[in-house]
Structure 1
Amino acid sequence: MGLGSAVASWVRTDDGRMARAMRRRPRHLPGTLTRVEIVARYSDRTGLSVENRLFHEVFGLFRLAVVAQQISYRYHHGQTRNQAFRTLWTAVRPLDHRCRSALRRAGGS
């Protein structure tokens, strides 16, 4: 599932505006691997077959959405005070959109 988390958090220049706004690392710079290249490198290095890249990507996006909701809940109930978490709930809808877009591109529902 580490591959799914890596692919989901790998925000590129051609991703939507909200995804780009949530980017935390400079993975959009020229020369940075694409998601497809990450999966291929993972498969080459581990010797594991990654037949369903879509599953890993959607799982990773879903996981990020759940984490955002959990941290947002904790912030709004006073269980953490880090101001960076104040608006984290706004990440859930764009992550859901990325999941649905990936499924549509693959011909899923």
Structure 2
Amino acid sequence: MLLKPLRFCVMALAAAGLSAGASSAQVSDSNVRAVNAARNWAINQNGGLSVYRPADCMFQTNTGGGACLIETNSQGYTFRFLGGAPGWQQQGLAPNTETVVTVSPDGRTITNVGYNGSPR
């Protein structure tokens, strides 16, 4: 008799844990657009993919930019990331560019370029 309520409690706790994990892992569509907009802006401004690659975190749309996302507020999304020659991170080379860019809250427009130059 006690098995039915116990089984229900276990299933309810498992479902609550799964839904909590899923909600904390979700990234908004505007955040994904913002990562893409910031990354593409930097690629275009720094010579294209044949000469420049942004840090790996700027390709992590599933985390909204991961460590590259430094601020989210009413002004939008601000990213700070390094970049360099293709393969720079994988080969352990030093980056040659630092970029700080803010994207609108809807993730569609670059609203501010705080910095785009040699790493500080």
What is the TM-score when the length of structure 2 is the normalising length? 0.27
Name which structure has the greater RCO, CA cutoff 8 Å, separation 6+.
Answer: 1
Structure exhibiting the larger radius of gyration computed from Cα positions: 2
Q: Which has the higher strand share?
A: 2
- Higher helix content, 1 or 2: 1
